[in-house]
Amino acid sequence: MKVFVTGATGVMGRSVIRALQGAGHEVLALARNDESAATLAERGVPSIRASLFDRTGLVEAMEGCDAVANLATHMPVGTSGMRPGAWKTNDRIHVEGSRNVSQAAAEAGIRRLVQESVSFLYADHGERWIDEDSPIAVSCAAEPVVLAETHAQHYASATREAVVLRFGTIVGDDAVTRWRLARARAGQAVGLGKPQSWTHVVHADDIGGAVLAALTAPAGTYNVGADPVRRGELVAAFAEAVGQEEASFYRRLVLRLGGDRLEWLTRSQRVSSDRFARATGWTATHTRFDAGWLLPMVAEAASA
């Protein structure tokens, strides 16, 4: 199968390219600039220069492909996300970019679209389990992601299938994880929400296998991640990884100042990925979060 990938140089894209190539699929990637094209070439991935905001260019780029995996994001790291306008690019990618990708895929005759999404769309459910039928809670921060899912759903037809993957919070070889480790090492807060509440995470390396499985999954929306973990356990693992006795949670004042951008990251979400596992046979290789997920980044920082 020939798969067109957007967001190919990001943490999700790197994992997906490895999985697709390992399974023998042909990969064609979208490159935003010469630097991205060079990075992809080093990984043995041919690319086409085009923009998410140029639908005509996307149609031409997708010609001859069998499926599209839309993984494009632009996530601010750390406190930079609190600055005015910090999320403007990421929101535009989800609102306009995902619409262009889905419409271009339809025009190009692509039969399958895989759209990334996030599981922290769900409302706070306390101790109750969350599956794909559980209600979501739409806020100003969440609305662009909901629209991206909607564009994928509008793409679907009698001859086209869309799969939406609601990933947990990514932990692994990415900028956000490294930033949180640096904060934990400095004795600064890394936890959001209440220690006894639940959160849903996914190891960066497991994203590729999930997108690979989505190429043959029944159309629909699926949760993807490891077993849910208590927030207190997650914060303790960050402290353990950097040799600290403990790590702390952000104070309520900070959360209030963060508004919607932080609120949906504090909800108690005991998310199940069982439906995706049953539908595809996919299972996470990193099934339960612990400090071991973080040690490669800690070793990398120590050797730098």
Estimate the share of the chain in helix, then strand, then coil, as percent rounded to the nearest 5. Answer: 45, 20, 40
Query: For the segment 203-258, what is each residue's pLDDT rounded down to a tens digit?
Result: 999 999 999 999 999 999 999 999 999 999 999 999 999 999 988 999 988 888 88
Q: Where are the domains of the chain?
A: 2-303
Structure tokens at 30: 């979208």
**Those residues with Cβ within 8 angstroms of residue 219's Cβ, 6 or more apart along the chain or in another chain:** 156, 161, 162, 163
Q: d(Cα 44, Cα 134) in Å, to the nearest integer?
A: 41
pLDDT in tens, 243-289: 999 889 999 888 888 888 899 999 999 999 999 999 999 999 999 99
Structure tokens at 82: 């609190």
Per-residue pLDDT tens digits for 39-91: 999 999 999 999 999 999 999 999 999 999 999 998 888 777 667 778 899 99
What pTM does this model have? 0.96
Residue-wise pLDDT for 99-127, tens only, equals 999 999 999 999 999 999 999 999 999 99
Please give the structure tokens belonging to residue 97.
């970019």
Tell me the C-alpha distance between 130 and 111, whole Å. Answer: 30
Residue 142 corresponds to which tokens in the numbers above?
Answer: 């969440």
For residue 267, the 8-state DSSP code is S
CA 215 to each of CA 19, 168, 273: distance values in angstroms, whole numbers, following the listed order: 12, 19, 17
User: Which two three-digit tokens encode residue 130?
Assistant: 């969350």
Which CATH architecture best describes the domain 2-303?
3-Layer(aba) Sandwich (3.40)
pLDDT value at residue 78: 75
Pairwise CA distance, residues 152 & 155, whole Å: 5
**Contact yes or no for 197/141 (Cβ under 8 A):** no
